[in-house]
Amino acid sequence: MHNDILKVLVSEEELQNKIKELGNQITEDYKDKNLLLVSVLKGSVVFMADLMRAINLKCRIDFMSVSSYGSGTKTSGTVKIIKDLDIDIRGYDLLIVEDILDSGMTLSYIKKILMDREPKSIKICTLLDKPERRQVEDIKADYKGFIIPDEFVVGYGLDYDEMYRNVSYIGALKPEVYNK
């Protein structure tokens, strides 16, 4: 598995340090709020698992799953709800936890449908941000881990064709892996 990785972009240690920072900031910002962490499956599960334990507050978690990509590395332009939230979000301060903000289409869509359900507030926390790839201009992350260049990355929850999610750092794949 590690043989398919060309280079490490964000190491395990850098990830853990950044998550501590984000957790402290969120703990401070949400101390008088009714926090509900919403993880967007599957890419954000690893980030979610670490981030929620870095937040020192009573809070709730929920999951939703949408699909915007097939097995390739480019957006298909359509977003579909595969699994909706279990919790009625009215009155909650939502923090959407995402793996990566790329074109922005997924988050823009999720934010819009969740807004219609009248939560008290919605903010976005993304581990990675690829600003060069943005197509939806009005979507911004309130909390972000790392800004990365326009390169397809895997690991720490992120996949290529559903693989490499269990790699514990963020890395770029060797080109020959895509061309197999």
Residues sharing a CB contact under 8 Å with residue 148, sequence separation 6 or more, in sequence order: 9, 10, 128, 129, 130, 170
Check 93, 99, 102, 129 and give the catalytic one.
Answer: 102
CB of 145 to Mg ion, least distance (A): 17
User: Residue 106 or residue 143: which is nearer to Mg ion going by CB?
Assistant: 106
User: Residue 4 or residue 29: which is nearer to ligand IMP going by CB?
Assistant: 4
Of 94, 29, 85, 92, the closest CA to residue 56 belongs to 29
Q: Is 102 a catalytic residue?
A: yes
Spell out a b/e string for 11-30, using b for 16 or more CB atoms within 10 Å of the CB, else e.
eeeebeebbeebbeebeebb
Q: Rule CB under 6 A: which residues touch ligand IMP?
A: 43, 68-69, 75, 98-107, 152-154, 158-159
* Token pair of 81 as six digits: 């709800």
User: Residue 34 or residue 108: which is nearer to ligand IMP going by CB?
Assistant: 108
Options 43, 104, 145, 155; binder of Mg ion; rule CB under 5 A: 43
Active site residues: 102
What are the residues binding Mg ion (CB under 5 A)? 43
